[in-house]
Structure 1
Amino acid sequence: MMDRRLYKTENNDKMICGVCGGIAEYFGIDPTLVRVGWVIAGCMASFGLWAYILCAIVMPRKSDVYPQL
């Protein structure tokens, strides 16, 4: 079983904080789909905005999780 960790990206998938890119890498999907999901969630009583801010603060960077990469 592969050990997967959730982290913020630091490569081309990063736009603001790298949260959507990291979630997309974790699930193996396109980062654009994750971004669209955040926008839709943001339109629903600003849940997406607060969830994104919380994830940007709590999630570690990829270089912190995998320092050798």
Structure 2
Amino acid sequence: MRSNDDKMVAGVCGGLGRYLGVDPTLVRVGAVVALVIGFPATIVAYAVAWAIMPQG
């Protein structure tokens, strides 16, 4: 579920961090690294996660 209280853009990284049991900041850093390495694929993956993850 996307996070309502720990979100910067859409709550995707906050929700993934909560689901995985890690700090959402680490998920955000990983997303930024993925964005630098594989720009188009990361944007598509984030958009898909935003669309399919329920609001929590």
Q: Tell me the TM-score normalized by structure 1.
A: 0.73
Which residue of the partner structure matches residue 51 of structure 1?
45
Q: Is the 8 A contact 1:40 1:48 kept in 2?
A: no
Unaligned runs of 5+ in 1: 1-6, 63-69
Q: Aligned-pair distance for 1:43?
A: 1.3
3-state SS, counterpart of residue 8 of structure 2: coil
Computed over aligned residues only, the root mean square deviation of the Cα atoms, in angstroms, reads 0.9
Equivalences for residues 21-36 of structure 1 within 5 A: 21-36=14-29
Structure with more of its chain in helix, by fraction? 2
**Structure exhibiting the larger radius of gyration computed from Cα positions:** 1
Q: Do structure 1's residue 39 and structure 2's residue 32 form an aligned pair? A: yes
**Of 1, 9, 14, which residue of structure 2 is paired with 1:16?**
9
Structure showing greater relative contact order (alpha-carbon pairs closer than 8 Å, 6 or more residues apart) = 2
C-alpha displacement of 1:45: 2.6
- Verify the 8 A CA contact 1:21 1:31 in the aligned structure 2: yes
Deviation at 1:28, TM superposition (A): 1.0
Contact map agreement 1:20 1:34 (CA 8 A) in 2: yes
